[in-house]
Amino acid sequence: MGLFSGLTMAPTDPILGTSLAFQADTDPRKVNLGVGAYRTEDGKPYVLNVVLETEAEILKETGTTINKEYSTIDGPAALKMLTQQLVFGEDSEAIKSNRIASVQSLSGTGSLRVAAEFIKGHMKPEAHEIWISDPTWANHTAIFQKAGMTVKTYPYYKAETRSLNFEGMMKALSTDAKPGSTVLLHSCAHNPTGVDPTEEQWKEIANVMKQRSLIPVLDSAYQGYASGSLDKDAFTIRLFVSMGFEFYMCQSFAKNLGLYGERIGMLHVVCNSAPQADAVLSQLKLVIRPMYSSPPIHGAQLVMKILGNEARLSAWKKELSGMADRILEVRSQLRAGLEKKGTPGTWRHITDQIGMFSYTGLTTPQCERLIKDHHIYLTKFGRISLAGLNNGNIQYMVDSIDEVVRALPPITSKL
């Protein structure tokens, strides 16, 4: 008997498992629509031009003005200001009042985990209950449960219409969630559905949360990537500031700057006053110190040099808009192809949704057939990453969906 003989194999992560299966597949037609990472029209990983330019400058300066010393626990001061301005707006009163506590984090996952640990360790017991959308990003539940929080769900997606279940969401927030509870919201480009509330619906959501004293945690992974506009995609966050909320804002640069492996993100906590923000920051540092001590420096340098340089910031906005436009074009091509082919069902939802993902509405058996017979890899609940589609495989995707939908029509109730 060995020390670890009683250990059993953990289940494979469903999304990462999809990627492993894709890599092992030798069929030349194979398509990977599982991983949420941008791909070029040629299906290749994309390093933004503005990132390549900045990398060259960093390399040139390394050993002189840039070194490999540890960062501070909370990350560089310049990074905090630049990232605050990006998400809250350059003229934000909250920034001017110094009432935002910010720390660099290990991308979006890290910011959520630090927020969860802070909430569990310092907030009142009622805040230890967090409400998340059904469905949501697969990792959300585990992050908050690992921190000892109780996770509950509010209705979000209406499968029959493949749209937002606004009535169900509002009912849960107005009657089911206890006052003082925490609520996780996707600020734009909801993952996995791609279904977002309208601006008017966001105002109603914010109003009921204000009335019920619910505490927002806003997860912002796609600012600028959803619509192509950094400001438009920050609407929800700036709305909550304008309404006087104190809240947590988790920011990632994995998707919109393509810095997936750099693990660069921020946690911003909007407080009522500067002294409160100072106190929050001091406690956030105590969460981080025994967790990972200090954040990586390279991603921070990239973000600071891009956001802090007007020419680079402008170049990034242009590239980001191009990335968003390509995804929108793929949505249009996929919907048009299915409608032209007369594929059973309605496909308008593909263009109604926004962001990197589409909740296709395909059933589990249909998804399994796509994987087994057509070598198209996606989650078995029908989510696809549109970045994996391009002019070279879009017709194959249309033909394959048509085949599985006709071969395995969904079971409908006769009642």
Contact 359, 158 (CB under 8 A): no
SS3 360: coil
Half-sphere exposure of 134 (CA within 13 A, CB side): 12
Torsions phi, psi for 146 (to 5 deg): -60, -30
* CA R_g for the chain: 22
What is the 8-class DSSP label of residue 128? G
What is the 8-class DSSP label of residue 177? S
Is 305 noted as a catalytic residue in this protein? no
> Own/partner pairs for 203-207, CB < 8 Å, 24+ apart?
203/239, 204/170, 205/169, 205/170, 205/173, 206/239, 206/240, 206/243, 206/245, 207/243
Token pair of 277, please?
A: 């923000």
Is 131 noted as a catalytic residue in this protein? no
Is 137 noted as a catalytic residue in this protein? yes
Contact 256, 222 (CB under 8 A): yes
User: Which of 131, 137, 202, 316 does the annotation list as catalytic?
Assistant: 137
Strands (E), 146-275: 150-155, 157-158, 163-164, 182-186, 215-220, 247-252, 264-270
Cis before 365? omega within 30 = no
Q: Strands 129-134, 100-106: parallel, antiparallel or unpaired by DSSP? A: unpaired
Contact 379, 28 (CB under 8 A): no
Beta bridge partners of 267: 103, 250
Contact 272, 122 (CB under 8 A): no
Look at the block and give the residue holding tokens 């009535």: 167
Distance from C-alpha of 149 to C-alpha of 265, rounded to nearest angstrom? 22
- The answer to whether the Cα torsion of 87, 90, 94, 97 is positive or negative is positive
Distance from C-alpha of 316 to C-alpha of 208, rounded to nearest angstrom? 36
Instruction: List CB contacts of 121: < 8 A, sequence separation 6 or more.
Output: 283, 287
User: Which of 255, 305, 316, 347 does the annotation list as catalytic?
Assistant: 255
Token pair of 73, please?
A: 């626990």
Catalytic residue IDs = 137, 219, 255
